[in-house]
Chains A and B, each alone.
Chain A
Amino acid sequence: MAKQERYYNILKLNKLFAISSIVFLILLIWTFEEDYSRDWKEYQREFRLLEEELTSNLLEQEKSRITGLSDYKVAQQEMAAAEKSLDNKRADLQILQKQLKSLNNEHYKVEQQLAFDKAQYDAAKYEYEEAVGKKHGDVKSTKKRFDHLDIEVKQLTLKLEDVVRRLNQQKKTIQDFLQEVNDAEKSIGEFTRKIDLYSKKLTKIDPGSMTVGNRMADFIRDLPVLDFLNPYYKIDQIVIKDITEDLIFTKVPKVDRCTTCHLGIAKPEYEDASQPFRTHPNPDLYITNKSYHPMESFGCTSCHGGRGRGTGFITSAHTPKSEEQELEWVEKYQWHEMHHWETPMFPKQYLESGCFKCHSEEIFLSHAEKLNLGTNLIEKAGCFGCHTIERYKDKRLVGPDLNKIPSKISRDWTYLWIRDPKSFRHNTWMPKFFGLENNSDPESQARTEQEIHAIIHYLYKNGKDFPLYPIPRLGNPERGEELINSLGCLGCHRIEPEPFEETTSLQTLRRDHGPNLIGLASKTTSQWIYNWLKQPERYFPRTKMPNLRLTDEEAADITSYLMTMSNGEFLEHKIPPLDEGVIDNIVKNFLLKMFSDFDSREKLKSMTLENKLDYAGEKLIRLYGCFGCHNIPGFENEKPIGTELTEEGSKPVEKLDFGLLDIKHSREVWFTQKLKHPRSFDRDKVKGDYEKLRMPDFEFSDVEVEAIVTALQGFVKTSYGIKPVKSQNPDVHMGQWLVREYNCQGCHIIENDGGAIRPTIQDWLIDQYAFTESDAEGMIIPFSPPDLNTQGDRTQPNWLFDFLKNPTSIRPNLRVRMPTFNFTDSDWSYIIKYFLFLDGEVATYESKHSVDMKSFQYLAGKELSELGACDNCHFYGTTFPKQTPDTWAPNLAMTKVRLKPEWVIQWLKNPQDIMNGTKMPAPYIPTKEDLAVPEIRESFGRGILNLDGDQDAMLRGITDFMYTIPGKTDISKEIKDYFDKNGYDFLQQEEDEWGEWE
C-alpha cells in the first residue's frame, strides 16, 4: 500500500488534541464545581454542626436530668420485673405467635379469593342483566353462572368473617401476655419523650448517630448531580402569594430565601448564636404563627427590604449600617451594592421604615419607636407645610396665626426673631432662614437684612385689628406661678430659661407642644397675654391652645407671672436701617422674572418705597414659603413650595441632586445631609440670589435626623394591599389623630404612653408644699390628670361626650384642670370612638343599669359600703366626705351616669390592677371562711349572710348600691366654693399625715 498522503503531523495534532481535551475536562469539572459550591451550603454545613452540638448537649442534659428522677428509677424497675415475668411464659408466647402467623396467612388467602370471586360475580351479574333486559346472550347459561358465583361469594364472606374473628382473638391473647411489658414501656416513655425526640433528630443530622446505610445515603444525597433528588443541603424558600413584587409589566409573588442561611431565625435556642444563625430578636411580633406577622405569610423582605430571591450575601442586597461595617463587609464578603435592585435592605438603624409599607396610615405604631418619633418630628417641625405629604393632607399649619400680629408683637422684635429665632428662645421650632451657609456672604447678608424689612412691612401692613380688653385687676405673680404649676399648663409648655441637654423622645415633644414660656415681657404686652389666656381662639381660631376657663383673677395672676420673665439682651441687638438701594435690587430681581429689563426699570421708577416694600414683601413671603407654617393674610390658598414627599422613599437615587458634595450616593445619606445641612448642596455652585436652596435649618440633633430619615424612607410607593386593623376605621383614625394633634398625652396616659406632665407635678409638690422627694413621688398619680387606659370600658359614652364638651369636677381635690377644647361634636365622637376601639368596644345603645333594691345582693352592697366607710372619702351628691380634703374622692352619686357597671365590678376587685398607684383601696369582701367564724359572722348584716360568701354577688351588690345613691351629679360649684373659701393648704406638708394610707 502506498504511503498515505499527509500534510500535517498527526502526532502533533494528537498532542494538541490531548492537551485541549484535558483543559476542557478540567474546565468542565470547574463548571460543575462552580455550580455546586454555593455560599449558602457552607452556612448550612456550619449550622448542621451547630445543631448537632446543641442537640447532643440537650440530649446529655436530658439524660442526666431523668436518671436523677426517682420516678424514672421506679419505672425502670417495673420494666425489669415485667420482662422477667414474661421470660417465664416465653415458650407459650412463641407458640401463640406461630399460630398467629398461620392465621394471618389464612386470612390473606381467603380475602384474596373473595376479591377474585367478587369481581367474577359482578361481571356475571352484568351479563345476566344484559341477557334479560337487552336480549344480548343466553339467559339460561348466564343465570346459572350468576347463581353459582352468588353462592360462592356468600360462603367466602362467611369464611372470612370467621377467620377475622379468630385472628382478633389470637391477637388479644398475645396482647394480654405482653400487657405488663407494654405498660412499663409506656411509663418509661413518659420520661424519655424528649430524649427520643433529640435522638431521632440526631440520627437525621449527625453521621455518627446514623446507621451505616443511612450514613452512605447521607453522603450520596448531596453529591453533585445526584443532589437534584433529595439533598440535605437545599435552598429553603417562603413563597408569599399575597405580597407581590412589581416587575412593571407583571407582578410575581414574593419569594424569600433568607431562611436558607438564617437557619435559626425561628428557633428560640439560637439566641446567642453568631450570624447568620441567630434567632430573630422579636419572634413574638414577627416570626411565629401566633404573632401579627407570621414568617409564613409575610416573609422577610416585605419588612426588611432586600432581594428575597438572592442566596448570597451580596445578591440578597444587604446594606451596611455604617462606613465601618461597609469596610468590614468589603473585606469579608467582597460586598458591593446590588446596583439595579431598587429596594435594598434597610440599614439597621432605619429598619422601622419598613413598617410603613402597610402601616402608613397609622398615626401611632406600637413597637416602632424611631418611626413614631420621626412622624412626630415631621408634624412638630411642620415639614408638610412646604412638602406635600399625602398622610398630612389638609392638616392645620404648625406655626402661629400672623393675621393679627400688630396687636401682639413689635416690629423690632419680629425683625430680630426672623433673623435668628433661637437667639430669643433657645428651643424654638421656628427654623433659621438667614445666616446659613449659602446666604451668609457679605453680599447676601446685606440683601437678606433688607428682605426681612420687606417681609415685616407686608405682615404689619396687612395685619388685622384685634381689640384687647383691659385687665380688670392687678395680678399676683406668685399666685400666677402656682397656677401655672398646678393647673396643667406644663403638660404642653416648659419654662426653661437656659438651654438644656435632652434626648428627644415622644415624651419630650409633648412638652414642646406649646412654646417655652420665657422672655415674654420682651416679646408682647401683658394685655395681650391676658386676652390670649382668657380666650385663645379669639386671636387664633385654629389654635391648639385650649381654654382653661380661667377666672379674671386667675388670668391676671398668670399674666403677671409670665411678665416677670424678660430677655433684655435680645432687644438690644442692632437692627440695620432700611436701605432703599438694596430694596430696589430685590424688587428688580423679582420684576425681571416677569418683565423685560426695560419694563422692570420703568416699573421700578414708578414705585414709591412703600410700593416696593409691599411688592418685595409679598414676593419674599411666597419665595420662602412662610405661609407653609403661618396663616398670613393674602396667602390663604397658596400651594406648598417644596418637593412632594409622599413617595420620597421610593425616589430613585439618581433623581436626588448631590451637588458637588463628595458623599455616598444613597437615599439615606442624602436625607441625612439635607436635614443636617439643608443648604449644603449649594456648596461651590454658581447660583442667582433667588435660585438658591431655601430649606431652613431646624438644627436637628442626630437622634432627630435619624428618626426623620426613618420616616422619610418609609414614605414609599409600595403598597401590599394589606391594611392593618386600626386604619380600617376612619372615625377611630380621626380620633387618634385629634388625640395626637391636641397633645392629650401631654397630660393623660393613653395606649400606655403619655402623661408628660407627671414629673412636673412632683416638682410642684416639692416646691410648693414642701414634700420630700419620695413623698411627692407617691403623690404623682393621685394629683395627675387621669390615666385613660380602659377609658372605653370605664365610662358611658354619653356622659363622656357631655364631660368633654363641658368638663366638670370629678376628683374634688385635684388642681389640674381639664380644659375646654374648641372641638366640634363630631370631633368628640371620633375621640370617644377611638377610646372604645382601644378597649375592643363599639359605640352602641346601652340600657340603664337596673337594680333590684329588694334583693339580698343590693342589701349586702349597702351593708358593705357602710362597713367600708366609702363616705369617708367619697362625696354622696352634695354630702361632703367625713375626712379632710387630702383624701377626697369622686362623687358616688355621679356613678350612675358616668361609669359602666361591668367596669365598676372590675375596679372594685382590685383598683391597682387598673390604675397602678391609685389611692383607692380594694373594699373588704368577706369570704366563706370568714363567715364560718362566729365572732366575725356577728358583725355582718342580713344581706351579706344571705349571699353566703359569694364574692361576685357582693361586688355586684356594691355596684348596685352605688347606682342608687341619690343626689346631685355635678358638684363642681360646691367644690369650687369650698376651695375658694379654704384654699389648698391641706397639701402643706408638716407632719407625716399620709401614714394612714400605707
Chain B
Amino acid sequence: METFKHLVNILAHPTIMLTVGMLVFLFFFPPNDWFEKWNRRLRLNFLWTKKGFYFVMFLMVVFFLFGLTDPNFSLIIKKPDNVPIIGLIFFVFIFLWISMNQALKNDNLIEAGEKPEEYNDPEDKVLVWPDLVYIEFIALILCMSLLLIWSIGLEAPLEGPANPAESPNPSKAPWYFLGLQEMLVYFDPWLAGVVFPSLIILGLMAIPYLDTNPEGAGYYSYKQRRLAIPIYLFGWMILWVALIVIGTFLRGPNWNFFGPFEFWDLHKLVPLTNINLSEIIYIKWFNRGLPENILVREIFGFLIVFGYFLLLPPLLAKTAFKKLHQNLGNFKFGFFIFLLLCMLSLPIKMYLRWLFNLKYLIAIPEFFFNI
C-alpha cells in the first residue's frame, strides 16, 4: 500500500502529471486522423459509453475513499474549503461524459447517413407551463436540500482574526482563482495577473466570431468539430481545471508541491534557483559577462518572442492551419492564432522552467518588464 501511495505521489508531480495528461488528452480528443487512428485502435471511446462512465466514476470514488484512510490526504479532502473542488472533479467528468456520449452517438448516426438525435423533436420538447416550471421548482427544492445538508454537515471553515503581520502558509487564492495563482509561478504578475485573464475573457467572447463552422450547431458532434473541441477542452481541462486541482490538493506550505499522500512539511526544501535566458546565453554558452545595453542583453529573448508571435502564424497558415486560414481570412486567423499561441505559451513556459530552470525569456527588472 505504501508503494502505491509513493507511486501516486511521484505521478502527481506536475511535470509528470501534466505531460502525461497532455499526451493522453490528444488521444482521447484526437485533432487529426493520426490520433484518431490510435483512438480507434485503443478503443478509447469506451470511456464515453455507459460502462466507461461507471468505470471512471467507480475509480474516482474508490480513489477518494482510499484517500480518506490516509491521514495526510484525508486532511486535505475533508477540509471544508476543498469540498467544492471534489464536486468539481466529479461534475466536470459527468458533463464531459454527457456531451461526448451524445456527440459520439450523433457521429455514428451521421456516418450512417442519418440525422443527429437532436432532430427527433418534439420528444425533447418541454412546455414552460406546467412542465418546465414544475421541474425547475423540484430542482430548486433539491438544491436547497443539498445546501442544507452541506451546511449542517460541514462547519464553516473559519480562521483566526485577519492579521496583516502574519500570512497563512500556504496562502491560497479562492479556489476559482487557483489557476491564476499557478500561472504566477511561471509568469510575471503583469502577465499572469492582468494580460492573461483579460485574454481569456476576450478569447471566450471571440469564440462565436472565430468559430464560423456551421456544422454541429444545435447538436453535439465530435467529428465535425475536431479542431474546436480539443482546443477548447485543452484550455479548459488542462490549463484551468487541472491547475485548480493542483493548486488545491498538491500545493502546500511555501507553495511547494506535495503528493496527495505526502505530509505537508513546513520545512520541506526544494531547489528553486532559476536563471534568465540572457544569462544562459551570455554566461553559460559564450563565457562572457552580460552586455551593458539592455537591448543587446535581451536581444535573444526578444527574437524568440517576436519569432513566436510573428513568424509562427504565417508558417502555420501555410501548413497545419491551411484550410482554416482560407476559411477565416487574414484578420480573423491572425487573432485566432494569437490567442492560441498565448494559450500555448503557458505549458511552454512551464516546460522551459522544469527543463532549463529558465526564469524569464526577457528580463528587464529595470522597467519591471519580464516575460
Is B142 an interface residue when CB atoms closer than 8 A count as contact?
Answer: yes
CB–CB A6/B160 < 8 A: no
Is B320 an interface residue when CB atoms closer than 8 A count as contact?
Answer: no
Q: Which of A7-15, A321-329, A631-639, A745-753 contacts B (4 or more CB under 8 A)?
A: A7-15
Q: What is the minimal beta-carbon distance from B139 to any residue of chain A, in angstroms? A: 9
Query: Which of B125, B138, B145, B165 contacts A13 (CB under 8 A)?
Result: B138
Q: Which chain A residues (166-183) contact chain B, with CB distance < 8 Å?
A: none
* Contact (A341, B266) CB under 8 Å given A5-B127, A24-B141: no
Residues of B within 8 A of A27 (CB): 145, 148-149, 152
Query: Which of B126, B142, B152 contacts A20 (CB under 8 A)?
Result: B142
CB–CB A340/B159 < 8 A: yes
Is A444 an interface residue when CB atoms closer than 8 A count as contact?
Answer: no
Residues of A within 8 A of B142 (CB): 20, 23-24
Query: Which of A31, A247, A248, A340 contacts B152 (CB under 8 A)?
Result: A31
CB–CB B131/A7 < 8 A: yes
Residues of B within 8 A of A16 (CB): 138
Query: Which of A7, A10, A652, A657 contacts B125 (CB under 8 A)?
Result: A7
CB–CB B141/A13 < 8 A: no
Residues of B within 8 A of A7 (CB): 122-123, 125-127, 131
Is B42 an interface residue when CB atoms closer than 8 A count as contact?
Answer: no
Residues of A within 8 A of B123 (CB): 7
Chain A 1-35, CB-CB to B under 8 Å as 1, else 0, gives 00001111010010011001101100110110010
CB–CB B141/A21 < 8 A: yes
Q: Which residue of chain B lies nearest to A9 when distances are taken between CB atoms in the complex?
A: B131
Is A597 an interface residue when CB atoms closer than 8 A count as contact?
Answer: no
Query: Which of A6, A28, A34, A652 contacts B127 (CB under 8 A)?
Result: A6
* Contact (A654, B127) CB under 8 Å given A20-B138, A20-B141, A249-B162: no
CB–CB B148/A28 < 8 A: yes
CB–CB A654/B266 < 8 A: yes
* Contact (A13, B131) CB under 8 Å given A27-B149, A28-B148: yes
CA distance A24 to B145 in the complex (A): 5
CA distance A28 to B151 in the complex (A): 12
CB–CB A248/B163 < 8 A: yes
Is A841 an interface residue when CB atoms closer than 8 A count as contact?
Answer: no
CA distance A27 to B146 in the complex (A): 9
CB–CB A30/B152 < 8 A: yes
Residues of A within 8 A of B122 (CB): 7
Residues of A within 8 A of B160 (CB): 340-342
CB–CB A20/B145 < 8 A: yes
Chain A 244-262, CB-CB to B under 8 Å as 1, else 0, gives 0001110000000000000
CB–CB A247/B134 < 8 A: no
Is B158 an interface residue when CB atoms closer than 8 A count as contact?
Answer: yes
Residues of A within 8 A of B127 (CB): 5-8
Q: What is the minimal beta-carbon distance from A673 to any residue of chain B, in angstroms? A: 17
Q: Which one of A21, A27, A34, A652 has the highest number of Cβ atoms from chain B below 10 Å of its Cβ?
A: A27
Is B161 an interface residue when CB atoms closer than 8 A count as contact?
Answer: yes
* Contact (A17, B149) CB under 8 Å given A24-B144, A340-B159: no
Chain B 101-128, CB-CB to A under 8 Å as 1, else 0, gives 0000000000000000000001101110
Residues of A within 8 A of B126 (CB): 7-8
Q: What is the minimal beta-carbon distance from B131 to any residue of chain A, in angstroms? A: 4
CA distance A28 to B149 in the complex (A): 10
Query: Which of A23, A248, A652, A654 contacts B162 (CB under 8 A)?
Result: A248
Residues of B within 8 A of A248 (CB): 161-165
Residues of B within 8 A of A28 (CB): 148
CB–CB A13/B134 < 8 A: yes
Residues of A within 8 A of B159 (CB): 340
Q: Which residue of chain B lies nearest to A27 when distances are taken between CB atoms in the complex?
A: B148
Q: What is the minimal beta-carbon distance from A818 to any residue of chain B, in angstroms? A: 54
CA distance A342 to B161 in the complex (A): 10
CB–CB B131/A23 < 8 A: no
Chain B 40-59, CB-CB to A under 8 Å as 1, else 0, gives 00000000000000000000
Residues of B within 8 A of A247 (CB): 161
CB–CB B131/A8 < 8 A: yes
CA distance A8 to B135 in the complex (A): 10
Q: What is the minimal beta-carbon distance from A762 to any residue of chain B, in angstroms? A: 57
Residues of B within 8 A of A6 (CB): 127, 131
Is B271 an interface residue when CB atoms closer than 8 A count as contact?
Answer: no
Chain A 640-663, CB-CB to B under 8 Å as 1, else 0, gives 000000000000101001000000
Q: What is the minimal beta-carbon distance from B103 to any residue of chain A, in angstroms? A: 24
Q: Which chain B residues (258-310) contact chain A, with CB distance < 8 Å?
A: 266-267
Chain A 176-213, CB-CB to B under 8 Å as 1, else 0, gives 00000000000000000000000000000000000000
Residues of A within 8 A of B131 (CB): 6-8, 10, 13
Q: Which chain B residues (62-114) contact chain A, with CB distance < 8 Å?
A: none
Chain A 52-81, CB-CB to B under 8 Å as 1, else 0, gives 000000000000000000000000000000
CB–CB A30/B148 < 8 A: yes
Q: What is the minimal beta-carbon distance from A881 to any residue of chain B, in angstroms? A: 73
Chain B 158-186, CB-CB to A under 8 Å as 1, else 0, gives 11111111100100000000000000000
CA distance A13 to B136 in the complex (A): 11
Residues of A within 8 A of B266 (CB): 654
CB–CB A31/B162 < 8 A: no
CA distance A7 to B128 in the complex (A): 11
Q: Which chain A residues (651-692) contact chain B, with CB distance < 8 Å?
A: 652, 654, 657
Is B356 an interface residue when CB atoms closer than 8 A count as contact?
Answer: no
CA distance A17 to B163 in the complex (A): 48
Q: Which residue of chain A lies nearest to B166 when distances are taken between CB atoms in the complex?
A: A652
Q: Which one of B126, B145, B163 has the highest number of Cβ atoms from chain A below 10 Å of its Cβ?
A: B145
Residues of A within 8 A of B162 (CB): 248-249
Q: What is the minimal beta-carbon distance from B256 to any residue of chain A, in angstroms? A: 15
CA distance A5 to B126 in the complex (A): 10
CB–CB A13/B148 < 8 A: no
CA distance A652 to B161 in the complex (A): 14
Residues of B within 8 A of A652 (CB): 166
CA distance A24 to B148 in the complex (A): 9
CB–CB B145/A17 < 8 A: no
Residues of A within 8 A of B152 (CB): 27, 30-31, 34
Q: What is the minimal beta-carbon distance from A517 to any residue of chain B, in angstroms? A: 48
Residues of B within 8 A of A249 (CB): 161-162
CA distance A16 to B137 in the complex (A): 11
A-B contact pairs, 27 of them (CB 8 A): A6-B131, A7-B127, A7-B131, A8-B126, A8-B131, A8-B135, A10-B130, A13-B131, A16-B138, A17-B134, A20-B141, A20-B142, A20-B145, A23-B142, A24-B142, A24-B145, A27-B148, A31-B148, A31-B152, A247-B161, A248-B161, A248-B164, A249-B161, A340-B158, A340-B159, A341-B160, A654-B169
On A, residues with C-beta under 8 Å from B are: 5-8, 10, 13, 16-17, 20-21, 23-24, 27-28, 30-31, 34, 247-249, 340-342, 652, 654, 657
| Additional 18 contacts, C-beta under 8 A, given A20-B138, A24-B148, A249-B162 | A6-B131, A7-B122, A7-B131, A8-B131, A8-B134, A10-B130, A13-B135, A20-B142, A24-B141, A24-B145, A27-B145, A27-B149, A28-B148, A30-B148, A248-B163, A248-B164, A340-B158, A654-B266
10 interchain residue pairs of minimum CB distance = A340-B160, A247-B161, A27-B148, A8-B131, A20-B141, A248-B163, A340-B159, A24-B141, A24-B145, A27-B145
